Structure 1
Amino acid sequence: MNMEIRHLAYYALSSMREGNQIEVSIPYTISGTNVPVFLNFNDIYEFINFQEISATCILVYLRYLEELCDINGQAEKFVLLSPTLISPVRTDNPDAGLRERADALIAFLCGTPKG
């Protein structure tokens, strides 16, 4: 795990008490809408101790990666998406190849009907 993230997680955990939560905004580019997610004490504790992590931790990590790409001038090379946006993407063919699935995902994200 990136040491910077681990230090941030320790800082968040040390400033929280059980039952507290931290609000983190997730941008439209990742989640499809501008809504906050809430990390609670248990999310951060499990993250630090390499236990099973929550979807919220994954979204916050995606946000971190997106910001890192932006800082390093790599933002145009990568698209980071919430897994919840990808799961509803379906194709007419269950054995669809990678290109057909990618086209279906693009159509879904752009809000255009496939076909």
Structure 2
Amino acid sequence: MNRAMKPLAYYAHSSMRQGNQIEVLIPYTIMGFDMPVFLSFEDIYEFINLQEISANCILVYMRYLEELCRINGQAEKFVFVSPSLISPVRTDTEDAGKRERADNLLSFLRDAPKERLYLVPHNRGRHWVLGVIDPWEDLVLYFDPLREKKRYDFTELMTM
């Protein structure tokens, strides 16, 4: 285990065994409204052990990154997009689901302020990737820490 994770592991093991949760407020600047997120022992355990992590962990990490941007005077350069905006939805057909997700993202970007990059985390089942969108330059960057050649439905979503 990474040395930096040991305090978190100690806290989780000593304080969270009885089903306790850590509440983290996701501020308006990330979601468009204030939203509490709750991390369970399982969330923290999976994070510490580099296993599949939940959307809640991603939201808390987004909050951390947004705070770093604010501290460094870069908050006006980035917009963090909730992963739920383009999460798979249940529809009659797969194409209808992709269309709905693309429409959700398009609606979000429609009033996009200039000179901002939109950071869009996306879960492809058991693996998170990051899309970076500059709607004014018509540019989409795709980051995959596993460097898989297939870009699955994220690329399809961006081209709809």
TM, length-normalised to structure 2:
0.51
Deviation (angstroms), 1:106: 2.1
1:14-53 residue pairs with structure 2 within 5 A? 14=13, 15-53=15-53
Matched, 1:105 2:105: no
Structure 2 counterpart SS, 1:90: helix
**Residue 110 of structure 2 aligns to which amino acid in structure 1?**
A
CA change 1:67–1:3 in 2 (3 A) is: farther
Structure 1: gaps (5+ residues): 92-100, 111-115
Deviation (angstroms), 1:79: 1.2
What RMSD, in angstroms, separates the aligned Cα atoms of the two structures?
2.9
CA change 1:77–1:46 in 2 (3 A) is: same
CA change 1:109–1:28 in 2 (3 A) is: farther
Aligned mates of 1:52, 1:11 — CA distance in 2: 20
Share of identical aligned residues, percent? Answer: 61
Structure 2: gaps (5+ residues): 88-100, 114-160
Query: Which gives a bigger RCO, structure 1 or 2 (Cα 8 Å, sep 6+)?
Result: 1
1:1-115 residue pairs with structure 2 within 5 A? 6=5, 9-10=8-9, 12-14=11-13, 15-87=15-87, 88-90=101-103, 104-107=107-110
Q: Which structure's residues are more often strand, by fraction?
A: 2
**Residue 90 of structure 1 aligns to which amino acid in structure 2?**
D
CA change 1:28–1:12 in 2 (3 A) is: farther
TM, length-normalised to structure 1:
0.68
CA change 1:65–1:55 in 2 (3 A) is: same
**Residue 41 of structure 1 aligns to which amino acid in structure 2?**
F
**Residue 109 of structure 2 aligns to which amino acid in structure 1?**
I
CA change 1:37–1:90 in 2 (3 A) is: same
Aligned mates of 1:36, 1:25 — CA distance in 2: 4
